[in-house]
């Protein structure tokens, strides 16, 4: 599976929960379908409408996270794996800006990430 499908402001993006980073910038449904077809084949396309519905309703296709914010809030998408605040991260993805290029002063302090259970 190429990642968790996320939805924000009418656009989709894919999220890698293992690395806790985005796999794509904001993309249309058509581009998402093309990615799923390439990575998962026809079987992936058959399951896609349910995944998209979950993403539109709850912000992500994940069944383990309550919201898009809950999925991405402890991300490692910034420079040197720094955590980018959710709204800043979403703004970057919609603007096709690489989150790794966000200035460190716009990221959360490293002490904040050290207190997050289960984060490396």
| pLDDT tens figures, 24-62 | 999 999 999 999 999 999 999 999 999 999 999 999 999
Tell me which residue has tokens 């993805």: 93
Residue 120 forms part of a structural domain: no
Judge contact between 37 and 22, C-beta under 8 A: no
Residue 27 forms part of a structural domain: yes
* Residue 119, number of CB atoms within 10 A of its CB: 13
Residue 64 forms part of a structural domain: yes
pLDDT for the residue 114: 53
Q: For 68-117, write each residue's pLDDT tens digit.
A: 999 999 999 999 999 999 999 999 999 999 999 999 999 997 655 555 55
Residue 119 forms part of a structural domain: no
Range of the domain at 80: 4-114
As for how many domains the chain has, the answer is 1
Region label for 3, one of left (φ > 0), alpha (ψ between -120 and 50) or beta (otherwise): left
This prediction has a pTM of 0.86
Strands 21-22 and 11-16, sheet pairing: antiparallel
- Return the percentage of the chain with pLDDT > 90, whole number: 84
């Amino acid at each position: 599976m190429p990642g968790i499908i996320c939805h924000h402001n009418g656009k989709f993006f894919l999220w890698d929960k293992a690395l806790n980073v985005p796999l794509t910038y904001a993309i249309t449904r058509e581009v998402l379908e093309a990615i799923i077809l390439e990575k998962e084949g026809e079987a992936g396309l058959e399951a896609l409408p349910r995944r998209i519905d979950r993403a539109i309703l709850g912000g992500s296709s994940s069944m383990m996270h309550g919201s898009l914010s809950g999925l991405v809030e402890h991300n490692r998408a910034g420079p040197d794996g720094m955590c980018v605040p959710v709204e800043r991260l979403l703004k970057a993805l919609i603007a096709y800006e690489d989150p790794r290029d966000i200035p460190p002063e716009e990221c959360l302090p490293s002490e904040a990430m050290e207190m997050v259970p289960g984060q490396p």
